[in-house]
Amino acid sequence: MDSGEDLRPEEIVPLSQRPEWSDVVPVPQDDGPNPVVPIAYKPEFEETMNYFRAIYLSDERSPRALQLTHLAILVNPGNYTVWHFRRLVLEALNTDLYEELDYVEGIAKKNTKNYQIWHHRRWIAKKLGTDATAKELQFTKKILSLDAKNYNAWSHRQWVLQALGGWEDELDFCGQLLKDDVFNNSAWNQRYFVITRSPLLGGLKVVRESEVKYTVEAILANPENESPWRYLRGLYKGDTQSWINDHLVSFVCLKVLNVKTNHVFALSMLLDLLRHGFQANQEFRDAVDALWISNSEPLETDLAKAVCSVLESLDPMRVNYWTSRKSKLPVSA
């Protein structure tokens, strides 16, 4: 079967010059008598789509119809109707769907963010069932090696895991991606997806301790990386009390405030801890005081308000947000 790199449009013999298409009367596109903005289609596009309309209207489900969908995909890989008709023809011809997976991979090389391609691939995978699991995970891995944040690839991978399985190595896969680029927020998102959805890990509470340690190490290595801070919060979703009481959470905040130069996310987490009842000791007060760079006015005695004031100075892009947060804090007794 032809792949996306075979038969580029400029190399295709016009359909009107092929004997096997002599019985087909092309159907031109009808834009009405007075189109407002006529589109100057390329000749190969116009001819291909004229023949496709003829085949589509006659509902011809034949090998040449399948080949025609390929030509139509080459000139416009985002045409939903063409992909839909291709599926009808594939079913009618009882085509080898593993070959179709290879075909889609060829087309996807230059169209990795084309939704229609991913929709078509999922349709095939559904037909093949669990036999397609390994191939689909490998395919998405290949796409993600080229674009680690490809939304369609991640969405397809998550669907495969939930519908077809293959959870066994997924946490290690996420770990490798984060080892390659700890700032890859998509990999952090996938890691959370795995620990909360995988039937093999036992749920969030079971893996929380090891994941907290993993995340704290990532934060201390790159405190300016927002993703692990967000991930750390997510590890306590629905269990605020455990979040407040876990010494590693407050430890990483204090550690970053005392040692590192990127303090915004540590201060933000400390603010939320305080808002939910965390009782900070003098070490936290001293760390926040040390960050106050204004000599014109004293820092508030209320630690949560003091944190907001420091954030107003350290994070000027969101100064209005921190001012708003401070205004909503309860009045100190």
Query: What are 165-191's pLDDT values in tens digits?
Result: 999 999 999 999 999 999 999 999 999
Question: Is residue 211 domain-resident?
Answer: no
**Helix crossing, 151-164 with 185-197: angle to 10°?**
10
Q: Which helix (H) or strand (E) holds 293?
A: none
Return the amino acid letter for 312: E
Tell me, yes or no, whether 248 lies in a domain. Answer: no
The pLDDT profile of the chain, 333 residues, written as one tens digit per residue, is 455 455 455 567 899 999 999 999 999 877 767 767 667 778 899 999 999 999 999 999 999 999 999 999 999 999 999 999 999 999 999 999 999 999 999 999 889 999 999 999 999 999 999 999 999 999 999 999 999 999 999 999 999 999 999 999 999 999 999 999 999 999 999 999 999 999 999 999 999 999 999 999 999 999 999 999 999 999 999 999 999 999 999 999 999 999 878 899 999 999 999 999 999 999 999 999 999 876 568 889 999 999 999 999 999 999 999 999 999 998 765
Measured CA to CA, the distance from residue 154 to residue 152 in angstroms comes to: 5
- Candidate list 110, 113, 205, 213, residue with the active-site label: 113
pLDDT at 11: 60
CB-neighbour burial class of residue 156 (10 A; exposed 0-12, middle 13-18, buried 19+)? buried
Question: Cα–Cα distance between 106 and 154 in angstroms, integer?
Answer: 19
The answer to the question of residue 21 being in a domain is yes
Predicted structure pTM score: 0.89
Percent of the chain at pLDDT exceeding 70: 93
Assigned domain for 83 exists: yes
User: Do the domain assignments include residue 55?
Assistant: yes
Backbone φ and ψ for 286, nearest 5 degrees, come out as -65, -40
Give the range of the structural domain holding residue 50, as residue numbers without chain letter. Answer: 1-95
113 is catalytic: yes
Do the beta carbons of residue 280 and residue 254 sit within 8 Å?
no
Domain assignment present for 141 = no
Residue 3 lies in a domain: yes
Residues near 244 by beta carbon (within 8 Å), at least 6 away in sequence: 273, 276, 277, 278
Q: How far apart are CA 19 and CA 329, in angstroms?
A: 80
Region of 141 on the Ramachandran plot (φ > 0 left; ψ -120 to 50 alpha; else beta): alpha
Domain count, the chain: 1
* pLDDT tens-digit series, residues 56-102: 999 999 999 999 999 999 999 999 999 999 999 999 999 999 999 99
